[in-house]
Amino acid sequence: MERVEVTLRDIDAALPIVREVGLHTPTVPFSGDDEDVWLKLENLQRLGAFKIRGVWNRISQLTDAERRLGVSTISSGNHGLAVAWAARRLGIPCTVRVPEGAVGRKVEAIRAQGAEVSPLSRSDLIDAHERETWRSWPSAFLHPFAHPATIAGQGTIGREIAEEDSFQESERPSKDSCLGPRCSGSRRKAPRPFRCPCGPANPIGSIARKRSPTASGSG
């Protein structure tokens, strides 16, 4: 896989595009046992997850020729749902290849958005990511994570946190307190160029649910 480069400028450019459909979700205090923390409530985002940010930024950059081909992706859940929703909104044909073992209700949610759902075996899933067999598919492939526009779209979460008016200066998260989402499918965490709302040089931790049986870069 080629190295993916994303800059703060890319994230800034993505922000107005993301806000065409995405919500500026609230950042709220949560009292822990030892110290207060702040939560970015992306569960209140459209479709219930942050994935619409990256998907909308990516699909908005497709050429007219690519849109005519339709879009496809690999996903066992939220990424596929976001792609299906965005494609339906733009009138673009959509196919979501779903790895075997995916949660039934998530698959049905994708199908309910009008996408064609195609099952993907474990071996084909591995080939798609390791050998990039998706390059031979006839439609425009929206990678679950490895595309600059997708990463920049997801990075708008950090930009919103950095600009959050509700923080007092003393409350603003430090480099030791910033945690970002790591999705169960791709296992990717916050994008390197904007990992911490305090600045791009600061590291960030990551949190995730227990690894799912379909997890192999499926989003």
Q: What are residue 40's phi and psi, to 5 degrees? A: -95, 110
Mean pLDDT across 116-137 = 94
Mean pLDDT across 85-101 = 96
With a pLDDT cut of 70, the percent of the chain lying above it is 74
Say which range, 2-16, 79-93, 167-181, 190-204, has the weakest mean pLDDT. 190-204
Confidence of residue 31 (pLDDT cuts 50, 70, 90): confident
Say which range, 24-28, 29-33, 188-192, has the weakest mean pLDDT. 188-192
Answer yes or no: 210 catalytic: no
Mean pLDDT across 156-165 = 86
Q: By CB neighbour count within 10 A (0-12 exposed, 13-18 middle, 19+ buried), where does 138 fall?
A: exposed
Mind spelling out the 3-state secondary structure of 90-102?
HCCCEEEEEECCC
Report the pLDDT value the prediction gives residue 167, as an integer from 0 to 100: 58
Report the pLDDT value the prediction gives residue 190, as an integer from 0 to 100: 45
Report the pLDDT value the prediction gives residue 29, as an integer from 0 to 100: 86
**What average pLDDT does the chain have?**
83
Report the pLDDT value the prediction gives residue 207, as an integer from 0 to 100: 56
Which tens digit of pLDDT belongs to each residue from 182-204?
A: 554 544 444 444 445 445 544 45
Top pLDDT among 207 and 32 is at 32
- CATH number given to 53-141: 3.40.50.1100
Please identify which of the residues 51, 75, 186, 212 carries the catalytic annotation. 51
Report the pLDDT value the prediction gives residue 162, as an integer from 0 to 100: 85
Confidence of residue 213 (pLDDT cuts 50, 70, 90): very low
Top pLDDT among 77 and 180 is at 77
Report the pLDDT value the prediction gives residue 22, as an integer from 0 to 100: 97
Answer yes or no: 76 catalytic: yes
Say which range, 35-39, 88-92, 103-107, has the weakest mean pLDDT. 35-39
Mean pLDDT across 10-25 = 97
Q: In terms of DSSP H, where are the helices of the chain?
A: 8-18, 51-59, 64-69, 78-90, 104-112, 122-130, 148-162
* Sequence ranges of the domains in the chain: 23-51+154-207, 53-141
In degrees, rounded to 5, the angle at the alpha carbon of residue 104 between the alpha carbons of residues 101 and 107 is 95
Mean pLDDT across 42-64 = 97
Confidence of residue 169 (pLDDT cuts 50, 70, 90): low
Please identify which of the residues 75, 76, 186, 218 carries the catalytic annotation. 76
Integer CA distances (angstroms), 177 to 33, 36, 148, 159, 189, in order? 14, 10, 26, 16, 15
